[in-house]
């Protein structure tokens, strides 16, 4: 092959790949953006007949960013009102009596129904559903102990490590559900890492810890500030059907 022909072929292949590569990358980027937009549009298509949320919608709608922005904007929260209660009250048209800290009162934290919640973007519904499900999940953990089984197993004066070990085990009723058991382990991790105070009852009196009091305190810790809540809610961790 003549040297000039070889050189021309090298130039051709170099130019071909230099031009084609950016075009391919642009096509991939465009396709990914279109797919993301389609996923977000699907997640925003909710109606009063929507039974429950799709966990993938948390990331599709960038719910972590949306809630962070919501929290940074001026909101009419009462002084000392836990963040979760404030969000639920304001997104339920200011309804009175909402208390998503009462694990012994399941109806105090209302099921988010499209049409009943404050008019606005679909993100309101996904945020409200995540708080609702966290309350329901903690309530169900408490109801598991209705016969006193866990308090007898752990000892009446249960402590944080014993409850954490219980959640890390395969003993909760839904331990065969991979997603819910992942939530068990995240709750256990948060309890282990954030607990730095005595156990209080609902009247804020320091009390001897037991299983349900520890759950109440944990739920308050998780909903007092949105940072702890976002850790549990990340990747749709709280967007499940009712238990």
What percent of the chain is modeled with pLDDT above 90?
13
Mean pLDDT for all residues in the chain = 76
pLDDT at 11: 42
Q: Which tokens go with 14?
A: 């170099």
Q: Tell which wins on pLDDT, 68 or 50.
A: 68
How do residues 202-222 score in pLDDT, each as one tens digit? 555 555 566 777 777 788 888
What is the crossing angle of helices 178-194 and 226-233, to 10°? 150
Per-residue pLDDT band at 129 (split at 50, 70, 90): very high
- CB 88, CB 109: distance < 8 Å: yes
Kindly tell me the sign of the dihedral angle through the C-alpha atoms of 215, 218, 220, 222.
Answer: negative
Per-residue pLDDT band at 6 (split at 50, 70, 90): very low
pTM score, whole prediction: 0.78
How do residues 181-196 score in pLDDT, each as one tens digit? 788 888 887 777 665 5
């Amino acid at each position: 092959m003549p040297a000039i022909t070889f050189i021309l072929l090298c130039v051709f292949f170099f130019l071909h790949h230099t031009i084609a590569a950016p075009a391919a990358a642009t096509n991939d980027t465009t396709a990914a953006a279109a797919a993301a937009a389609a996923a977000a549009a699907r997640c925003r298509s909710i109606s009063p007949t929507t039974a429950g949320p799709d966990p993938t919608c948390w990331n599709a709608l960038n719910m972590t960013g949306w809630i962070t922005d919501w929290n940074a904007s001026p909101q009419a929260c009462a002084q000392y009102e836990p963040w979760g209660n404030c969000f639920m009250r304001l997104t339920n048209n200011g309804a009175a009596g909402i208390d998503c800290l009462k694990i012994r009162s399941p109806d105090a934290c209302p099921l988010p129904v499209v049409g009943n919640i404050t008019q606005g973007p679909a993100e309101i519904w996904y945020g409200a559903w995540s708080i609702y499900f966290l309350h329901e999940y903690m309530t169900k953990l408490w109801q598991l102990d209705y016969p006193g089984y866990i308090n007898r197993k752990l000892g009446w004066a249960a402590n944080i490590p014993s409850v954490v070990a219980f959640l890390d085990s395969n003993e909760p009723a839904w331990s065969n559900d991979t997603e819910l058991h992942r939530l068990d382990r995240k709750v256990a991790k948060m309890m282990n890492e954030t607990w730095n105070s005595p156990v209080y009852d609902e009247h804020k009196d320091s009390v001897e810890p037991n299983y349900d009091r520890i759950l109440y305190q944990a739920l308050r810790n998780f909903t007092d500030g949105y940072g702890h809540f976002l850790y549990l809610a990340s990747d749709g961790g709280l967007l499940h059907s009712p238990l």
